[in-house]
């Protein structure tokens, strides 16, 4: 199970099972030219309000220990939390970062970002200032159903490019 709606009596067993599963998955080596393993922590989800097995702390620790990429999904953090600040704090310790550059609207992530989105601009500034753009990958997929998929991708990709140039 991914988590619990209420406070569980045992968190350790679930996390040990997840660690064992991940250990088994990454034991099968694939040429990194074709596949880069990345982990993305969850803060909460429907039905897992009190406990998430694959939390941000769990996956950050696992990625650091095992030389994997870590995904930072912008829509999974509190609106006042600085996702850009996480880049310089995490990047020296992981193989690389994947930035899922979406926009959160009242807790619903994956909306199309715009250049006016200060979170995207801050993340781009920190990515460029890190001097390690070679270790940062950009994930541009959006679940915003209010516009068509092609328009969403073009608008979001262009906003991301402009924010990097900014």
Mean local confidence (pLDDT), 42-71: 88
Q: What is the pLDDT of residue 60?
A: 96
| pLDDT over 70 (residue 1) | no
Q: Do 144 and 153 contact (CB within 8 A), yes or no? A: no
The pair of three-digit structure tokens given for residue 111, joined into one six-digit string? 């909306």
Mean local confidence (pLDDT), 13-41: 94
Which residues lie across from 139 on neighbouring strands? 100
Q: What is the pLDDT of residue 109?
A: 63
What percent of the chain is predicted at pLDDT more than 70?
Answer: 92
Mean local confidence (pLDDT), 18-47: 90
Mean local confidence (pLDDT), 76-85: 82
Which of the residue ranges 59-63, 141-145, 148-152 would you say has the lowest mean pLDDT?
A: 141-145
Which residues lie across from 73 on neighbouring strands? 100
Q: Choose between 45 and 59: higher pLDDT.
A: 59
- The CB density around residue 139, as the number of other CB atoms within 10 Å, is 16
| pLDDT over 70 (residue 2) | no
Report pLDDT digits (tens) over 128-144. 999 999 999 999 877 76
The pair of three-digit structure tokens given for residue 30, joined into one six-digit string? 């694939």
- Pick from 160, 161, 158, 7: which is nearest to 74 by CA? 160
Report pLDDT digits (tens) over 84-103. 999 999 999 999 999 988 77
DSSP per residue over the chain, as a string? --EESS--S-SHHHHHHHHHHHHHHHTS---TTT---EEE-BS--TT-SSEETTBHHHHHHHHHHHT-EEEEEGGGS-TTS-HHHHHHHHTTTSSEEEEE--EEETTEEEEPP-TT-HHHHHHHHHHHHTT-GGGEEEE-----TTS-HHHHHHHHHHHHHHHHH-
Q: What is the pLDDT of residue 28?
A: 94
Q: What is the pLDDT of residue 106?
A: 62
């Amino acid at each position: 199970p991914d988590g619990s709606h209420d406070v569980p009596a045992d968190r350790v067993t679930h996390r040990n099972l997840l660690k064992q599963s991940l250990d088994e998955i990454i034991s099968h080596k694939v040429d990194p030219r074709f596949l880069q393993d990345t982990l993305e922590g969850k803060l909460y989800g429907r039905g897992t309000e009190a406990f998430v097995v694959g939390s941000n702390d769990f996956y950050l620790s696992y990625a650091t220990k095992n030389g994997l990429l870590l995904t930072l999904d912008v829509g999974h953090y509190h609106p006042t939390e600085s996702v850009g600040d996480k880049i310089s704090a995490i990047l020296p310790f992981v193989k690389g970062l994947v930035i899922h550059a979406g926009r959160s609207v009242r807790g619903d992530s994956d909306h199309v970002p715009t250049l006016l989105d200060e979170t995207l601009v801050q993340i781009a500034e920190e990515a460029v200032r890190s001097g390690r753009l070679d270790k940062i990958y950009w994930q541009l997929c959006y679940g915003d159903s209010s516009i068509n998929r092609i328009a969403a991708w073009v608008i979001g990709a262009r906003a991301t490019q402009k924010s990097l140039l900014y």
